[in-house]
Homo-oligomer: A and B are copies of this chain.
Amino acid sequence: MKRREFFKRAGVGALAAGGVLATSQSHAAKRFNWKMVTTWPPNFPIFQDGVKRFAREVRKMSGGRLTIQTFAGGELVPPMQAFDAVSQGSVEMGHSAAYYWSGKVPAAQFFTAVPFGMNTQGMNAWLYHGGGLDLWHEIYRPYGLVAFPMGSSGVQMGGWFRKKINSVNDLKGLKMRIPGLGSKVMAKAGVNPVLMAGGEIYTALERGTIDATEWVGPFHDLRLGLYRAAKYYYYPGWHEPGPMLELMINEKAWKSLPKDLQLIVKTAAMAVNLNMLSEFEARNLEALQTLKNKYKVNVIAFPDEVIKQLHKFTQEVLTEEAAKDAKFKKVYDAYEAFRQSNSAWGEISEGAYARALKL
């Protein structure tokens, strides 16, 4: 056989062999094209932007093996259907806050925020190293979901009110947008709590469909323009001291990922978790100053008497909910044990340091 003929034939062989190699590689390097829905408005800074960044980084770190297409609330499914969409597997991932699903999973509320509960540092410690994440997986398993913490705003603001709150009596009869356990506490104070996604809040408040709303904190609240619809901006966010966002993943899809891709997803989510909080901490003050100085918003503390009453109502709500639902009770007990221990350590660490700064 002539040399030229050999190469010609070998060329054909190379194509064939190339096909075989490609197949064997595509098994090892199987590609995943996933969809991810969120409960946030499109272009929502930090949250939706953080989700897009997460998707971009997972794609890069995985060398394109895991591509995640992201959709803001309403772009693929309505925001409040994100849980069902991921649970049923019509999409593989979601980014949200677990307390939105309290109607069907009451215990999920502990994985977002507990009124008068732990701040973000405590929540992270509980979830990553105090058994919290295992409980979360246990609670989500019946819905075919796994979840990981992915982002926190830090202590939120108490919310926007169209009229001044001088006592608990002033809360009576108010319609307020507030989710999670905070809404049940407010109900005890006579508030009519309403659950609505972020995109609907401004119009509702501006038209007087609601009298008050909590949302996130200065940076986001400024963007949403809430100062144009209400002039009293209360603190502190007693109802969400360390709100945690969630990365939900369809369990079957999760198990189909090779271990290295699972690790990339988990690591990216943990990095986003820290990154979001850090961005909030860096942006909130400037936004608050704009609200005060440019838009003449009254930034004002809840009266001590109101805080004390809400704290008392919180105890009642937690006790009542625990009596109604065994899973709620199980997570509550675990959360509360960790919180008490964390709080005792906080007394001589963060607490003692904060006190030292003021001497």
Which A residues lie at the B interface, using CB under 8 A?
A: 1, 6-7, 9-14, 16-18, 20-21, 57, 60-61, 63, 116, 119-122, 124-130, 154-155, 157, 217, 235-238, 241, 259-260, 263-264, 267-268, 270-271, 273-275, 277-286, 288, 299, 301-302, 304, 307-308, 311, 338, 341-342, 344-345, 348-357, 359
Contact = CB atoms under 8 A, between A and B. Distances in A.
Contacts of A125: 277-282
A121 to B, nearest CB: 6
Contacts of A345: 281, 284-285, 288
Is chain A's binding surface mostly helix, strand, loop or mixed? helix
Contacts of A304: 359
B11 A348 contact: no
Given A14-B20, A236-B352, A354-B354, 18 more contacts: A7-B13, A9-B9, A10-B16, A14-B17, A21-B21, A121-B278, A124-B274, A128-B279, A155-B352, A237-B353, A241-B353, A267-B267, A271-B271, A271-B274, A273-B274, A285-B341, A285-B344, A350-B354
- Which of A10, A281, A311 has the most B CB atoms < 10 Å from its CB? A281
A103 to B, nearest CB: 27
A227 to B, nearest CB: 16
A349 B235 contact: yes
A190 to B, nearest CB: 20
Contact of A57 (B122, B267, B283): B267
Contacts of A267: 57, 61, 267-268, 271
Count identical subunits in the complex: 2
Contacts of A120: 121
Contacts of A14: 10, 13-14, 16-17, 20
A348 B299 contact: yes
A283 B128 CA distance: 12
21 contacts: A6-B9, A9-B13, A10-B10, A10-B13, A13-B14, A14-B20, A60-B259, A61-B263, A61-B267, A116-B356, A121-B278, A125-B278, A125-B280, A128-B279, A129-B278, A154-B350, A217-B349, A281-B342, A284-B345, A299-B348, A301-B348
A271 B267 CA distance: 6
A282 B16 contact: no
Contacts of A357: 116
A5 to B, nearest CB: 9
A267 B6 CA distance: 49
A297 to B, nearest CB: 12
Contacts of A127: 278
